[in-house]
Amino acid sequence: MINMAPLAGRIALVTGGSRGIGRACAEELAQAGADVAINYHSHVAAAREAVEAVERLGRRAFPIQADVSQPAEVDHMVRMVEQTLGPIDLLVNNAGVFDYVPHGELTLEMWQRTLNVNLTGSFLVTWAVKEGMLARRFGRIVNVASISALQPRPLSIAYAASKAGMMGLTRSTAAAFAGHNIRVNGVAPGLIETEIIEGVSAEAVDKIVSATPLQRIGQPVDVARVVRFLMTDDSEFMTGQTLVVCGGRVMTP
């Protein structure tokens, strides 16, 4: 018999959870039975809407503002989630920033901001929840990387570097935590219809779609369904893997 609520009783934290892939992940995890904390940085109204969407699915939801690149804010976020919903079992490291600029316009400030949010932020949130997971001998972590980590990206150098770092973080933490029943995996989306493509020209988008075997832009739910799979026991023999979700534009060996 298929378990319609494989994550029942679990508490999830989704960073960058108010919009796009993050919100889709929050809804998918809620559909699977989890209560969900939705982290956001500045989009208050979007966070409220995401909370309402989770609550409509019959699950508890909690919005929590935090800049994941700031250790004190991350620690406060995790404490508040645990006090409100309970110990965190499931973590989706999704918060990220993206700049689409040629190398001549890439500044040190942009580089540092991208690495601080995308990569260091994932490290900080993982470290804030891992001790509880270790103590309970249970944890599931999914890091949202990108196919930008797998191919040259001359117009998003900092972003590509940060996402390659996330893939390395995924592999190494998976090996470090495996003996404690904590699985760490990742997803590497291709072009997904979110706010991240607002700075990309229509011509560039059309070119990407034409190079995609499935001939369409991905939707946030396409990624979120893979995240849900990685959180459940359907993937119980998987850790340290990053699954590519890009309509076939990148095919790994």
Per-residue pLDDT tens for 107-154? 999 999 999 999 999 999 999 999 999 999 999 999 999 999 999 999
Q: Is 159 a catalytic residue?
A: yes
**pLDDT value of residue 253:** 79
End-to-end CA separation in angstroms for the chain: 34
- Per-residue pLDDT averaged across 36-56, rounded? 97
Computed over every residue of the chain, the mean pLDDT equals: 96
In this prediction, residue 201 carries a pLDDT of 82
Delineate the domains of the chain, giving CATH numbers in brackets: 11-244 (3.40.50.720)
Residues in the chain: 253
Q: Does 53 have pLDDT greater than 80?
A: yes
**pLDDT of 1:** 61
* Region of residue 212 (phi > 0: left; psi between -120 and 50: alpha; otherwise: beta): beta
Tell me the pLDDT band of 200, cut-offs 50, 70 and 90: confident
Mean pLDDT of 182-192: 97
What pLDDT, on a 0 to 100 scale, did the predictor assign at position 3?
Answer: 78
| Residue 171 clears pLDDT 90, i.e. is over it | yes
Listed residue (149, 155, 224) closest to 193, CA to CA: 224
Per-residue pLDDT reduced to its tens digit, 79-110: 999 999 999 999 999 999 999 899 999 999 99
Place of tokens 């995401």: 50
pTM confidence score: 0.96
Q: Among the options 159, 163, 165, 245, which is catalytic?
A: 159
What letter does residue 40 receive in the DSSP assignment? E
Q: Which tokens go with 180? A: 């404690």
Region 232-240 average pLDDT: 98
pLDDT (tens digit, 9 = 90+) per residue, 9-37? 999 999 999 999 999 999 999 999 999 99
What integer pLDDT is reported at residue 142 of this predicted model?
99
The percent of residues in the chain predicted with pLDDT above 70, rounded, is 99
Q: How many CB atoms lie within 10 A of CB 194?
A: 20
CA 191, distance to chain mean position in Å, is: 15
